[in-house]
A and B are shown apart, each in its own frame.
Chain A
Amino acid sequence: MNDEILKNVSIRLEDLDVEGTIEEVKRALDKEISPFGIVKNALSPAMDRIGQKFERKEYFLSELSLAAYIMKGVMDLLDPHFSVSREGRLGKFLIGTVKGDLHDIGKSFVSMMLTSAGFEVHDLGIDVPDERFVEKAVEIKADFVGMSSLLTTTMPGMKRVIELLKNNGIRERLRIFVGGAVVTQSFADEIGADYYAEDAMECVRKARSLVMNRR
């Protein structure tokens, strides 16, 4: 019975059915399926399939945006239940587009994909001052920091943030991800980031495998 409900959640989300997904999630909560179970067994596999459809060019940014919108509605619904659930999420992922850069779409998809994969995501938005990354990382005790840049002129912001994290003594306990159209693996290596991800799907795969290896 529960398996069937979870399957329905997953199908509705993959089909980008806005109301249908919310209805099925409510049904799952009524049956006292844990929010973590809903994420892990229904939302996460659906988002993986949505990501695969995007890679195969069956879905486009218009569909990913809609998936993000549905996921936001679902997470708003699940959030109060998380606090009473004893199961934790995969880890705290702080993310933002660096200072001077207003590109939002790619970073938002990474947020969404990470959320659906089970991470607790804190999205600082765009044009984020260097210090804000550090303050927030300290405040929430982040496990991961992800930075996005789409301009060659704003890329150095990533390096500054990493320096600041070092100066504040928290660099070592963080896993740092960088991405965005102009960013490359060699740039990531050069500035001392831990991981470069070419797209949202790769970021999720890498972050998830880190957590799984640690557990």
Chain B
Amino acid sequence: MHPLERFLSAARMEAPDEVPVSLLTSARFFSRLYGIKVFQFFHDPRLMLDATLHTMKRFPDIVFFPGLWADYGVVVEPSAFGSRIFWPEDYVPFVKGDLLKNPEAIPGLEPPDPKTDGLMPFVLESIRYIQDHAPKDVKYLYAVARGPFQVASYMRGPTEFLVDLRVRPDIARKLIDVCTETAIRWLKVQLEVINNPVGIFVPDDNASFLSPGLFEEFGLPAYRRIFSEFDGLLKVYHNDADSTHILDLLTECGFHVFNFSPATDIRKTKEGIGQKVCLMGNIDPVNVMLRGTPEQVEAECKRCIQIGATGGGYILSLGGGPSMETPQENVEAMVSAAKKYGKYPLLGV
């Protein structure tokens, strides 16, 4: 099987010929490997494409997810609302300052227009560029929008947003509604530009900061609303905070693939949400992939495969994007571990 076929088969909850290996598309990792500063990656779509293709070629057995990606980090949605953005020379951009420091500004907030506001039109143009200039066999496949909890936290301030959920629930709900609507509109506009889209990708770490009760009240309805809008597409959700306490609720959100972190136990995940949703994870990107030896990477991949891959519906991946200085030997160790321990049929442990 071709690696991408293998990935899509697992995403459909099937057991492919062997466990697919995937890494998140990472401006930091790709730039370092290609020998450019991260800011250059963002500044020039040609370099963005070249660095991405270079990395794909270097690791042909890995499915980079979402693959070709006009990736500008976490700042795109906040920029469309008017947040101040900070661009370091050799790192991913940050949102600076809390746009909605004053909660009184929230009731009048409207979703931005993805075709004209902030960095969104610029991202659309980059998607067109990358799509037009990529080799024929490498397709632009996914629309990406940051989830409502991440975007709300960046604009309001993470702690302030969490306090609002209890102290000013109406205002918190309004902010979540606007961010949810923004994600939907933003995904739809990208899907109009992408030639033959396969799916959507929604990363949203901050949702796991909510207690189960708050997640049920605020998180579940927001996610159901987003994911129900895109039937017929593969829906991938990323959350690299500890999500153990909301795993049952996440099962009901309506996505197909869950990219989760080592903070969330893989056995519990497999026994619960993993029965209905494809799991993608959850090797530690820092303590194992960045700082570990190839032997440690192999041992951890073996453990994850043995627990996660039984019965299919599993993609071997990290619980987050690869760090900038991730050793190439460790990436190779991941690929060979999948070949060594991940041939189907697998016997459960």
Contact = CB atoms under 8 A, between A and B. Distances in A.
A66 B163 CA distance: 5
Given A62-B210, A62-B214, A69-B167, A104 B162 contact: no
Interface in A35-61: 57, 59-61
Contacts of B287: 184
Contacts, number: 59
Contact of B286 (A59, A60, A61, A182): A182
Interface stretch (B41-49, B88-96, B100-108, B127-135): B88-96
A153 interface: yes
Nearest to B91: A153
Nearest to B165: A62
A137 B41 CA distance: 39
Contact of A62 (B88, B157, B166): B166
A57 B90 CA distance: 37
Interface of A: 16, 18, 57, 59-63, 65-66, 68-69, 100, 102, 104-105, 108, 151-153, 181-182, 184
B286 A105 contact: no
A66 B244 CA distance: 21
B325 interface: yes
Interface in B284-329: 286-287, 290, 323-325
- Give the interface size bracket for B toward A: 20 to 34
B211 A59 contact: yes
B77 to A, nearest CB: 16
B116 interface: no
Most buried by A among B91, B94, B159: B159
Nearest to B287: A184
Nearest to A109: B159
B244 A100 contact: no
B34 interface: no
B72 interface: no
Given A62-B165, A62-B211, A68-B163, 11 more contacts: A61-B209, A62-B209, A66-B166, A104-B158, A105-B209, A108-B159, A152-B290, A152-B323, A153-B91, A153-B324, A184-B287
B166 A16 contact: yes
Given A59-B211, A62-B165, A181-B286, A152 B325 contact: yes
Nearest to B166: A66
A181 B244 CA distance: 18
Contacts of B167: 18, 66, 69
Nearest to A108: B159
Contacts of A151: 91
A62 B162 CA distance: 5
Given A62-B211, A69-B163, A102 B94 contact: yes
Nearest to B167: A18
Interface in B109-157: 157
B244 A105 contact: no
A63 B166 CA distance: 9
A102 B75 CA distance: 13
B245 interface: yes
Contacts of A60: 209-212, 245
A60 B207 CA distance: 11
B162 A66 contact: yes
A105 B91 contact: no
B163 A65 contact: yes
6 contacts: A57-B245, A60-B245, A65-B159, A68-B159, A69-B163, A100-B91
Contact of B244 (A57, A108, A184): A57
B211 A100 contact: no
Nearest to B209: A61
A105 B159 contact: yes
Contacts of A63: 211
A176 B324 CA distance: 28
A-B pairs with the 3 shortest C-beta distances? A65-B162, A61-B209, A60-B211
Nearest to B286: A182
A105 B158 contact: yes
Most buried by B among A61, A108, A151: A61
B162 A61 contact: yes
Contacts of B245: 57, 60
